[in-house]
Amino acid sequence: MDAACPRPAARPPAPALAAAAVVAALTLGPLAAVAVVAGGAGAPGPADWAALRFTILQAALSAGLSVALAVPLARALARRRFPGRRALITLLGAPFLLPTVVAALGILAVFGRRGLVNEGLAALGLPAVQIYGLQGVVVAHVFLNLPLATRLLLLGWLAIPAERFRLAAALGFRPADIARHLERPVLRAVLPGAAATVFLICLSSFTVALILGGGPRATTLELAIYQAFRFDFDLPRAAALALAQLGLCAAALAAAARVALPAAFGPGLDRVAGWQAADSPGARAGDAAVIALGAAFLLAPLGAVVAAGLPRLAGLPPEVWRAAARSLVVALAAAGLTVTLALALAVGAARGAGHLALAGALPLAVSPLVLGTGLFLLVFPLADPSGWALPATALVNALMALPFAVRALEPAARAAEADFGRLADSLGMTGRARLRLLTLPRLARPLAFAAGLSAALSAGDLGVVTLFAGTGGATLPLEVFRLMGAYRMTDAAAAALLLLALSLALFWALDRGGRGRAAA
Amino acid sequence: MLRLEGVRIVQGEFALAADLAVARGARVAVIGPSGAGKSTLLAAVAGFVPLAAGRVTWEGRDLAPLAPGARPVSILFQDNNLFPHLTVAENVGLGLRPDLRLSRAERARIEAALARVGLGGMGARRPGALSGGEQGRAALARVLLRARPLLLLDEPFAALGPALKADMLALVEAIVAEAGTTLLMVTHDPRDAAAIAPETILVAEGRAEAPRPTGTLLADPPPALRRYLG
C-alpha cells in the first residue's frame, strides 16, 4: 500500500505466510533432493550451450509474437459484441489448456508434411513449407500462448470501469485519445506481465520441442534434461542442465518482477460495460478481420484433432473411461489446492506482503520434470511411488498453475483492498466475514478463471505421472501416450479427443460459474 | 468528549499537528484548503493513519489500541461507502453484524432504518441501481444502525447537487440530534458549515485549530481561511 493508507497491522497475514511456506517447501525440497542425488557433473559441452541458446531464442520469439498478436485480438474482443463471442472467449482458454501432445498433433495436421497448408500450397503448385525446427516450435508456442496473452489483456481491458468510457464519450475522445488515456495505461500494466509469462512458459518447453524440434539445432534445455535422464540415465548431467534451466528462469523472473506495474484505475459500480467509441466502419472491419484470422488460426488444429478422433469415440475401451475418471479427480484436487494457495498469497500481497506473492511465482522457475523427479526421489525411500502417482500429479500440477492463478488474482485483490479495505475495516469486517462478504465476491471472476485453468492443466498433463505410475492406474493423458506407443493410433486420437473434451468441460464449467457470479 | 492531545501525523513531506477537544454531542465542520489534511485528521480519529506523536481519546479512553471497526466511530468516505456486490439491505445490515448472520428482528430493524431514510422497500436492490442521493441515504441508514457516538463525514455528499446535498445534511442533522451523536464533517463549502455546524475546525498550514463558533469564524476569517475563501 502507498504512504497515504498504511494499515495498522503491518505484519503479513498468517494464511499468506503459511501458503508461501508450503509452496517454498514443495518447490525447493524436491530441487534439493535432485541436487543432492545428482552430485558433481562434468563441464558443459557444445551441445549444452546450443540447447541454452536455442531455449532463449525460441522463448523470446514465441513471447514477442504471442503478445504482439494478442493486442489487436484482445481489443477487438473487448469492444465488439457479436454472436459466438462468449463461445470464442471460452475457446481462448482451449489451446493453452489443450494437452500439449494433442496441440502438437494438431499443428502437424495443419502445417505438417501432409497438413492442410501444404496440401493447399501443392494444389497451387507452390513449394511446401517445412514445419520441423525453430519455426515449428515457435508456431506451436504462439498457438498455445496467444490465447493466454489475449485473455490476460482482456481481463485488464474489462477492468476499465464502464464509467471511464462514458466519461471518454462525454468528453468527445477520439480513438487515439482513448488509446492514450484508457488503453495504454492498461497495456502498460498488463503487457509486460503477459510477455514475461509466455516467455517463462516457453523457457520450460518440453513436449513441443520433443515433437516439432529435436536434433542439435532445435533442442531445449528441458528436452536435454529428459534425454540425459531417459536415454543415458546420466543423473549428474541432467541435474546440471536442470540448474542451468533454474538459473535461466530465475533471471527471467527477476527481470519480470521489475517491469510489472499495477494499474491505477479506480472502481466502477458493477454495470455492464458499454462501448460507444471506435465505431467507424474502418475500425469495425479491422476488428472483424482480426477476430476471424485469430479464430481460424486457433480453431484449425483443434478441428483436425476432432475430425481424426470423433468416429472412434464411442468405441473406446473401458480402461480409457476409467483413466478419464482418475484424471477428473486429480484435476479437481489440483484446482482446489491452487485456488486456496493463490487466494492466500494474493490477499497477502494486497495487504502489504507483496514479497510473499513472489512465492507464487516460484514454481515457474522449476520445470514439472525436475519437480517430479525430485518428488520421486523423496517418496521412493518411503513408499511405493506408483501408489503416489495421482497425489503427486495433482500436487505438481497445482504448483504449476499457481503462478497464473496468483497473476490473475493479485490485481483484483489489490483493487478490492484499495477500494473497499477501509470501509471493511471501519465496519469491523475481519477473518471469515471479510473473506465471504468482500474478498470472494470481488474476486469471483479471477478465482473461477484460476480454478478452471488449474483443473484443465492438471487433467491434460503428461509428465509427472509417467515417472510415478506403474502398469495400471493411468491418467487419461498417460493412456493416450500408451495407446500411441502401442500404435493404436485411432484409439489414441479418440482418447485425445476425450481428453480435450474433459479439459475444456472442466475449464468451461468453473470459469463460467465465476462469470455468472461476477455479473450478478 | 473527543480529545486530540499533542497529535502529530507525518506522511513523507506532509505533516499535521492537532491539539484540540470536541464536546460530546457537538456538530463541528472541518474546513480548509485542499491538501491541508482535513481527510487525514478524520482518518487519524478513525484509526487509518498512525500517529507520529500524541494521542486521541474518547471520554478519556485512548483509542490507539482499537482497530478501526472497534472504535466508537462511524465514518463515511467520499466514495465507495457501499459494497456494489451486496444488496442495499445487506450493506445496511453490516452496521449491525459485520458477518451478516442476521436474525429476524435484525432484518426488521434494517427495514425500519431504510424506511427512516426514505428507502422503504428498496432493500433488495444493489447500489448500482440507486441514484447518488439514494446511495447516500443507504449509507446513513447503516450509520443509524451502527449507533456509534461519533460520526465522521469525509464529504460523502460532495458529488450531489445543492438541493440534494441540503436534503442529506438535514437528514444528518436529524439523525445526530436523535442519538446525541458527535459530528465531525469535512467540507469545502462554508455554507455547509453555516447550515448545520455551530462550530468549525480550521485546518491550514500544517495545523488543525481548536473548534470556534462558525458564525464568528466566517464573519472575521483569519488570513489562512480568508485566502481559501477568496
Does residue A417 contact residue A6 with C-beta atoms inside 8 Å? Answer: no
Q: What is the pLDDT of residues A478-512, one digit of tens each?
A: 888 788 767 676 787 788 899 999 988 998 899 88
Q: How far is C-alpha A453 from the chain's CA centre?
A: 7
A-B CB pairs within 8 A amount to 81
Cα A418 versus chain centre, distance:
27
**Separation of alpha carbons A225 and A463, rounded Å:** 13
Clarify whether residues A169 and A299 are in a common domain: yes
CA dihedral B132, B135, B140, B146 (to 10 degrees): -150
Tell me, yes or no, whether A334 and A456 share the same domain.
yes
Looking at the structure, do residues A335 and A471 belong to the same domain, yes or no?
yes
Rounded-to-integer distance, Cα A120 and Cα A355, Å: 53
Cα A25–A29–A34 angle (5° rounding)?
160
Which amino acid does the sequence have at A112?
A: G
Say if A408 falls within a structural domain. yes
Residues A54, A148, single domain; the answer is: yes
Grid cell, residue B96, equals 449491525
Task: For residues B171 and B162, give the distance between their C-alpha atoms in angstroms, rounded to a whole number.
Answer: 14
User: Which pLDDT band holds residue A1 (cuts at 50, 70, 90)?
Assistant: very low
Which ipTM score applies to this complex?
Answer: 0.90
DSSP A374-440: HHHHHHTTTS-GGGGHHHHHHHHHHHHHHHHHHHHHHHHHHHHHHHHHHHHHHTT--HHHHIIIIIH
Are A520 and B85 in contact (CB < 8 Å)? yes
What pLDDT does residue B85 have? 93
Reported confidence tier of residue A127, pLDDT bands at 50, 70, 90: confident
Q: Which of A211-225, A436-450, B97-111, B121-135 has the lowest mean pLDDT?
A: A211-225
List the 90-109 stretch of B: residues with Cβ below 8 A of A: 90, 94-95, 98-100
Q: What is the pLDDT along chain B (230 residues), one digit of tens a residue?
A: 999 999 999 998 999 999 999 999 999 999 998 889 999 999 999 999 999 999 999 999 999 999 999 999 999 999 899 999 999 999 999 999 999 999 999 999 999 999 999 999 999 999 999 999 999 999 999 999 999 999 999 999 988 888 999 999 999 999 999 989 999 999 988 888 998 999 999 999 999 999 999 999 999 888 888 888 87
Q: Quick check: B69 and A267 CB within 8 A?
A: no
Question: Cβ contacts (< 8 Å) between B90 and chain A: which residues?
Answer: 437
Burial A398-416 (b: 16+ CB within 10 A, else e): bbbbbbbbbbbbbbbbbbb
The answer as to whether A3 is a domain residue is: no
Query: Which three three-digit cell numbers place residue A253?
Result: 523472473
DSSP-derived 3-state class of residue B6: strand
Would you say residue A236 lies in a domain?
yes
∠ CA A93-A222-A458 to the nearest 5 degrees? 35
A473 and A361 within one domain:
yes
Q: CATH no. for residue A52?
A: 1.10.3720.10
Co-location of A81 and A16 in the same domain: no
Nearest CA among A491, A476, A322 for reference residue A393: A476
Domain range holding A514? 11-40+316-520
C-alpha cell at B19: 491539539
**Residue A240: what residue type?**
A
Tell me: do A178 and A296 sit in the same domain.
yes
- C-alpha A207 chain-centroid distance: 15
Q: Are A338 and A363 in contact (CB under 8 A)?
A: no
Residues B154/B77, Cβ–Cβ less than 8 Å = yes
The residues in A 461-520 lying below 8 A from B, measured between CB atoms, are: 520
CB A218 within 8 A of CB A185: no
pLDDT band of A267, cuts 50, 70, 90: very low
DSSP, residue by residue, A484-520: HHTT-HHHHHHHHHHHHHHHHHHHHHHHHHHHHHHH-
Nearest in space to B88 (alpha carbons), one of B162, B139, B152: B139
- Whether residue A430 and residue B94 make contact (CB cut-off 8 A), yes or no, is no
Contact state of B100 with A269 under an 8 Å Cβ cutoff: no
Alpha carbon distance A266, A284 (integer Å) = 29
CA distances from A442 to A158, A418, A419, A436 (A): 14, 12, 11, 10
Query: What CATH homologous superfamily does B24-49+63-72+148-230 map to?
Result: P-loop containing nucleotide triphosphate hydrolases (3.40.50.300)
Most confident stretch, A149-163, A262-276, B180-194: B180-194
Q: Is B128 an 8 Å CB contact of chain A? A: yes
A401, A506: one domain: yes
Contact A269 B84 (CB under 8 A): yes
Q: Give the Cα separation of B82 and A320 in Å (integer).
A: 52
Q: Measured between alpha carbons, how far is B42 from B77 in angstroms, rounded to an integer?
A: 10
The answer, yes or no, to whether residue A260 has pLDDT greater than 70, is: no
Please state the domain count of chain A. Answer: 2
Tell me the chain B residues in contact with residue A442 when contact means C-beta distances shorter than 8 Å: 85
